Amino acid sequence: MEQKIFIIGTGAIGKVLAVFLKAAGRDAILIKGRDHGGQEEVSSLQVRLTDDSQINATVRVTSINNLETLDGVVVMANKSIGNSDIADKLKQKCGQSPVVLLQNGLNIEQPLMERGIQNVLRCVLYATSQPLTDTTLQFKPVAPSPIGCVSGDGALLEEVVQLLDTPQFRFSSEENIQTSVWRKVIANCVFNSICPLLDTDNGIFHRNEHARALAEEIIEECVAIAKRDGVDLHASEVLKTVLQISKASDGQLISTLQDIKKRRPTEIDSLNFAIVRAADRHGELKKVTKTKILGELIRLKSGLNLDS
């Protein structure tokens, strides 16, 4: 019998992943990331693709407290700000099940490691999704999303990749996942700070030379800190990633802008401020001035929205 796939987080990425897995005949269950109680329900969801085709699926939606064990593969597609709370639940319920973090940010796996969860994998997401209605989502893939082992049984990696991979939402295995994590975090520092402040979509960087120039400055700052952390990245390759994402997700809103518009907390602490903390550890705070200021402006904008 095929393993169950437990997807924590009923946001845009969690829902589309569940739809594609169900359409492929796999046993996927959505778990509410914030609500730990409530009744189980069934939701009919639709995902629109870039060619205007649509994939529909009926998905079981429940809370983590309604499940005695999570015996299968656990995918965390919730906001990383909730990882400590969810890690407490997983410690009691997931046993040896591999846990895949489908989230952005540096060191977001730490809450799981600290609680002794053994088989932890990181996925670097190269796709964007945004809700059109409560049950309809727009999905735009950019490239296959690499998954790599952070701790535990590395032999599980290929099995997990094959289980999650579908024709619409592709995954691949990656031996050196931390380099990929840093590259994507730096790209996210660009998208998740500049786009919300300009109140614009992801395509701004390939459409506008001034936005691209600011992106290059942020990338230069962050790459310098990555190198101090032992990760050998080059600004040109990160810029190439930013422009690839920008073109592929033209018209799509980055998650931080979606969060601000919906008066939800953002993940900026695991992006810009994670880079700032790394710079501070190396005594290089002066090298991330723009990255820090943009993060502070997002924190302020989000806070004002939450208070209003």
pTM over 0.75: yes
Q: What is the pLDDT of residue 168?
A: 96
Per residue in 163-182, pLDDT (tens digit) is 999 999 999 999 999 999 99
pLDDT of residue 1: 41
**Angle between helix 209-228 and helix 177-198 axes, rounded to 10 deg:** 140
H-run or E-run covering 62: strand 54-63
Instruction: Give the CA distances from residue 159 to residues 28, 73, 98, 124, 278, in Å, rounded to whole numbers and listed in that order.
Output: 16, 10, 10, 17, 33
Mean per-residue pLDDT for 6-24? Answer: 97
Which pLDDT value is given to residue 38?
Answer: 73
How is residue 288 written in tokens?
Answer: 């991330």
Give 67: exposed, middle or buried? Use CB within 10 Å, 0-12, 13-18, 19+.
middle
H-run or E-run covering 171: strand 171-173
Q: What is the pLDDT of residue 151?
A: 94
Contact between residue 68 and residue 160 where contact means Cβ atoms under 8 Å apart: no
**Domains of the chain: residue spans and CATH:** 4-175 (3.40.50.720), 179-307 (1.10.1040.10)
Confidence (pLDDT) at 306? 79
Average pLDDT over residues 121-129: 95
- pLDDT-derived band at 39, boundaries 50, 70, 90: confident
Q: What is the pLDDT of residues 66-88, one digit of tens each?
A: 999 999 999 999 999 999 999 99
The answer to whether the CB of 80 falls within 8 A of the CB of 105 is yes
- pLDDT range class, residue 9, cuts 50, 70, 90: very high
- Tokens 């999303």, located at residue: 145
Provide the percentage of residues in the chain whose pLDDT is more than 90.
93
Confidence grade of residue 36 (pLDDT, cut at 50, 70, 90)? low
Q: In the 8-state DSSP scheme, what is residue 30? A: E
pLDDT in tens, 219-263: 999 999 999 999 999 999 999 999 999 999 999 999 999 999 999
